[in-house]
Structures are given as C-alpha cells and as structure tokens.
Amino acid sequence: MQLDVHRYARESCVVLAVLGELDLAGAPRLRQSVVSETATGIRHLVLDLTAVDFIDSTGLGVVVGALRRLRAHGAELSVVCPEQRIRRVFEICDLDRVFTLHGTVDDAVSASGSV
C-alpha cells in the first residue's frame, strides 16, 4: 500500500492528513510535504495520522525530523493520533513524552499556541 498526503488549511494551521502506511516506502513523501510546508513559513503544522494503517521506525523518524525542522524555523507541530495501535508505537518508543498526541484535528488546532 502506498502513502497519500492531503493538505488543507484549518484556522491558522496547515493540516497534513496522512493516509496509508508510514514506512520506508512512504516516509519520503511525508518528508517532502513537511519540507514544502516549512518553506512557506507556516507557524503551526498538524500531522493527522488518523488514517495511518502502519508506522515503522522510518515513519517515526520522519515525524521526529518534522518536529526538528519546524522548531528550527520557529514553528510548532501537533500530532493527531486517535488509533490506539498507532499511538502504542509512540508510547513504546517514549515519543509520547516528546509529542502531545491529540485525539482529533479540532483538539490539535485549539491547542495552537499552547503546545
């Protein structure tokens, strides 16, 4: 299965809705989307992982890399991860200490500025 990334604006945020498998094959597509968004000067990016079926270490690395890239440009990143099996991967790797995992895009957008 491939990875699709859909972009849309939501209030003062840009949301990247990720669909499919965030693995070695799909990770470069998400990485490129984050690089493109960062180049536009966004202030808050929301990664919506609601429709992610699978995530591996490469996918996690892209999410961590997105956080680093955005912070380096003075922007913030929020992660939406309502699926327990995907959330569990973040917890096993202690990344739930690095990211606040939101249940919905609405939660992530409303947290803008307080993240």
Nearest to 59 by CA among 37, 73, 79: 79
88 vs 11: CA distance, rounded Å = 29
Q: Please check whether residue 113 lies inside any domain of the structure.
A: no
pLDDT at 2: 87
Specify if 114 maps to a domain.
no
Q: Quick one: which of 96, 114, 95, 102 has its CA closest to 46?
A: 102
For tokens 């470069």, the residue is 28
Residue 100 has pLDDT above 80, yes or no: yes
Tokens 């984050």, residue located: 34
Is 80 exceeded by the pLDDT of residue 74? Answer: yes
The pLDDT assigned to 22 comes to 96
pLDDT of res. 115: 43
Domain count for the chain: 1
- For residue 25, is it within any domain? yes
CATH number of the CATH domain containing 103 = 3.30.750.24
Its pTM stands at 0.93
pLDDT band for 12, please (50, 70, 90 cuts).
confident
Supply the pLDDT for residue 75: 94
Query: Can you tell me the distance from the alpha carbon of 14 to that of 86, in angstroms, rounded to the nearest whole number?
Result: 22
Domain membership of residue 59 as a residue range: 3-108
What pLDDT shows up at residue 57?
A: 95
Q: Which of 45, 44, 43 is nearest to 31 (CA)?
A: 45
Report the percent of the chain where pLDDT is more than 70.
97
